[in-house]
Amino acid sequence: MSSKEVSPEARSDLFSEWLDAIEFDPVDDLLWPPFSNSYSPESWTPLCCDQPVQAVAVAGFSDEDEDIVPPAKQSRKDGSAYSTSARLSSNAPRRKGSAQLSSSSARKESRWAERLLNLCATAIEERNVARVQHQFYVLRELSSETRDVNHRLAAHGLQALTRKLAGASSASLRSPFAGADPRFFHHALVIFHELSPWFTIAYTLANVTLLETFRSATVSDAADRTVHLIDIGISHGIQWPTLLEAFACEPRGPPSLVRLTVVADVAGAPFAAGPTDNDFPTRLKRFAKSVNVSLEVNIVQGELGKLTAGDLGVREEERVAICFQFRLHQLGKERKRILGFLRNLSPEIVVLSDNDVDYRSSVGMAARFGRKAELFRQFLDSTSVEFKGKKYCEERLAVERQAGMAVLSCEDQGNDQREGRWWEVGMEEVGFVRVALNERVLEAGRALLKKHDGNWGMKVEEGCASLSWKGQPVTFCSLWKPATLNT
């Protein structure tokens, strides 16, 4: 071993010492102020370069160019010290051997934030202290929650990598929404659902499916049966007024009773948790009364993996449906056990929706993080378009913070080479079978997308609907039932 080489053991020790030395604090150091009802964009000045074009120049350098934008306290090769207030400038060196980036390179580097984040994730995985320092410095300089897609991706990606270094699992994250003003929280969700189909496409497909499921009763008239909806989702009640109104318009009348059981996320996971005084059950019951639907709402507080059928209040002779929306990817190692528990409830239908990204076969943390960053970039790109020209700046910031935590910090499931999409494998293992979305359900989804930007699309494959942004899948909605139930 040469004098310049460092053994893996020594590198690991150096990496640990560096983490201790910089004292990562997800509130005080690299992360932005926690969201609260007193927050305003003016209360924080983001660290970013003055000229966005310089980000492209920096991202164009090869991995060997560690001295382009040095971190504080790093020394030059000639022995002199860099200033701790160094900033990117128009005098930054360009790629070696090139006077300027070619047009093809410029197009490639238009996604410079992804490249920098991937380099940083790789350095973390390799426990390369110098490289991590360098990449964190660059990302801090370029991060901004209020600028274009690249700067926003850099900001949220940096936060996610910081949490990774600090050892924070997705289960330990607390949603900034949890401390928000309830009125602003509700308003932000409503605005986002109105402007973007990211979640509402799944809600629309689910509601039409539920209406048709309970309409096709063969045992007895639907009006004589209790419908029990188990909501393991993130809508905070926003999904249900449309379905309640549809029940009221049924020729045979609504069910005698609609029971809604909402499984709250006690861990405070992104989107799944809201302010403790967000009284959406009262709003829902008031709406149900206005359309002459008898509604009962129960909020269940507890860890999903520890709940029982008794906790959910499941009764005999009631018709049970489960909406499991955008929570599956947060379950981690408990996923199979929780899905098995839901299977044992014998629901008539399960609506399963989530982010359409599969990183099971990606080997290593860096590769999986890259898949997450790619999906989150699509989210940011879509919000840039849908919110363009709108006045809802604070609402967009709040929603993007939630999405960044939900997507970038979800649990790594490790290497899994089994055939099939990740949600299909889990559902089939515990005894669920797929149910195809029928044409009436799909037509409702297409009608919704006509109200939004033309970059949105919906593809149906093997009975599963996939929402896409600019041709790339972002979310999915699928239907399932226990294998023992008749078709």
Instruction: Return the CATH number at 427.
Output: 3.40.50.150
**Would residue 376 count as lying in a domain?**
yes
**What local confidence, expressed as pLDDT, does residue 71 receive?**
36
Note whether 199 and 292 are within 8 A (CB).
no
**Would residue 391 count as lying in a domain?**
no
Structural domains in the chain (count): 2
Judgement on whether residues 111 and 231 belong to the same structural domain of the protein: no
**What local confidence, expressed as pLDDT, does residue 129 receive?**
84
Judgement on whether residues 353 and 380 belong to the same structural domain of the protein: no
* Residue ranges in the chain whose pLDDT is less than 70: 1-109, 168-180, 216-224, 266-269, 273-276, 359-363, 410-420, 485-487
Judgement on whether residues 158 and 222 belong to the same structural domain of the protein: no
Mean predicted lDDT score pLDDT of the chain: 76
**What local confidence, expressed as pLDDT, does residue 55 receive?**
34
Rounded to whole angstroms, how far apart are CA atoms 256 and 293? 8
Judgement on whether residues 248 and 164 belong to the same structural domain of the protein: no
**What local confidence, expressed as pLDDT, does residue 57 receive?**
33
Judgement on whether residues 197 and 52 belong to the same structural domain of the protein: no
Judgement on whether residues 167 and 90 belong to the same structural domain of the protein: yes
Judgement on whether residues 50 and 75 belong to the same structural domain of the protein: yes
Judgement on whether residues 197 and 102 belong to the same structural domain of the protein: no
Phi, psi of 312 (to 5 degrees): -85, -10
Judgement on whether residues 248 and 125 belong to the same structural domain of the protein: no
Judgement on whether residues 330 and 417 belong to the same structural domain of the protein: yes
Judgement on whether residues 420 and 463 belong to the same structural domain of the protein: yes
For the entire predicted model, the pTM comes to 0.77
Judgement on whether residues 235 and 302 belong to the same structural domain of the protein: yes
Q: What is the domain extent for residue 141? A: 8-175+361-386
